[in-house]
Amino acid sequence: MSDVSGKTVLAEFIEKWIRIENEVKLLSEDRKALVSDYKDKLDVKAVQAALRIIKMKARLDVSDEELENIVCALEKHVSL
């Protein structure tokens, strides 16, 4: 690979990287605006927690019943 070609590839990579970072920033701002719009209509924190729980459960390889049994057992030993 020639030096000029390498610089072109690097410049292209950097341009795409920065574009993606900007899109992520815009999406983050959109998410904050969404939360703000619904904070008086929903318990947004509870909905966000429920979404996190659903995502965690999707990654686990256990049944809902088994997970509930584990949570109940832990609740007996942990005070929050």
Q: What is the CA radius of gyration of the chain?
A: 22
Quick one: DSSP state of residue 66? Answer: H
pLDDT in tens, 9-64: 999 999 999 999 999 999 999 999 999 999 999 999 999 999 999 999 999 989 99
For the chain, what is the total number of helices (H) and then of strands (E)? 3, 0
Residue 42, classed as helix, strand or coil, is coil
pLDDT of residue 51: 96
Mean of the per-residue pLDDT values of the chain: 92
Q: Report yes or no on whether pTM surpasses 0.85.
A: no
CA distance linking residue 63 with residue 57, whole number of Å: 9
